[in-house]
Amino acid sequence: MTFGTAIFLWAALAGLVPIVLHMINRQNAPVVYFSTLRFLRLSVQRTRRRKRVHDLLLLLLRVAALVLIAVALARPALRWLHRWVGGESSTAVVLIVDNSSSLATRDQNGPRWDRVSSATLQILDQLQDGDQVALLVTNGPSPPSARGLLRNHEVVRQAFRGCQPSFERADLVGTLVEARRLLRTAPAQNREIYVVTDMQACCWNDLQRLASDTQGGAEDSPIVVVDTRGPRLPNAALGSIVAQATAPVAGVPLRVTVGVQGDAEVSEERHVSVYIDGQKHDTSPTLRIEPVQVVPHTFDIALGGKRLHRGQLQLEGDDACSA
């Protein structure tokens, strides 16, 4: 069972309210003897047990009503129900795999793509015989053999093993729209979308486009996001690079100005180095970079010899997307 909006399951805690109220209002009435009513004692004792059972059933019904409302708001998808009553599979799954450039990096837990592969194969292993599944990647063409809804899961598994990270930013919203289009053609009663991603914020742009895609009923399909993020790493980058020379003459210094783009959330101290023909030529002092700030630094480079030189700027230290 999966839930479209699992956060509503927290509302099931409201089922404790009737129990708390029952315990608060529970009190023992004082015993007062009336000589003229003593013959009713036997009747009260006979009905006391019946009243306790009645009160207990009423309490359970109140708790169950609140819990069932919370579960209904969470939009459960009962994948096994149709098969359990003797019918064929009625589940169609579109598996979206984020293969953007950030998945080609490593962190303390190893390559990020390894975590994506593990999560994707685990989802495929959990599918039942007869379930339909399609594979879409966020960058580049999706594998043709697994682009449509298939009942042969091994074909999809082999197609995924041929996928690799790209050098582009993922368009998760566009891929979700494509997944909905696939599900609109599926006759299955249950339709699900799984997104395996490292949750880069820039990949979720244009969410309004997803909200406006309301044709065919596929917008009700639950979207399950599998977060494969590891420990957060600093993510500074070299931005603009401007090279200027007063004259293209040997011995005349070349002025190179580089802008270092800071991380979106944390401050950093970094160094930028210049390499000429594969050898380190100069290194900047420590550059203090505040969040989202661009810090410029200028190098004056004197090149000797009447020949072509190859220059390279490099941001020193570990980085989330070193390139």
* Model pLDDT, residue 43: 63
User: Tokens 């007869």 sit at which residue?
Assistant: 130
Beta strands 254-261 and 294-301 are antiparallel
> What is the pLDDT at residue 86?
46
The pLDDT value given to residue 13:
86
In which residue are the tokens 């009645």 written? Answer: 54
Delimiting residues of CATH 2.60.40 domain(s) in the chain: 237-315
CATH number of the domain at 82-227, out of 3.40.50.410, 3.40.50.300, 3.40.50.720, 3.40.190.10? 3.40.50.410
What's the rounded Cα separation, in Å, for the pair 46 and 63? Answer: 28
H-assigned helices in the chain: 16-25, 41-73, 81-84, 112-126, 153-161, 172-184, 207-211
Burial of 322 (0-12, 13-18, 19+ CB in 10 A): middle
Q: Which helix (H) or strand (E) holds 310?
A: none
Residue type at position 212: S
- Please list the helix, strand and coil fractions of the chain in percent, rounded to the nearest 5, in that order: 35, 25, 40
pLDDT of residue 322: 41
**Size of the chain, expressed as the number of residues it contains:** 323
Residues spanned by CATH 3.40.50.410 within the chain?
82-227
Buried b (16+ CB within 10 A) or exposed e, 267-289: ebebebebebeeeebeebeebeb
Q: Is domain 237-315 classified as CATH 3.80.30?
A: no
Q: What is the pLDDT of residue 292?
A: 83
Spans of the chain, pLDDT less than 50: 82, 86, 320-323
Supply the pLDDT for residue 39: 56
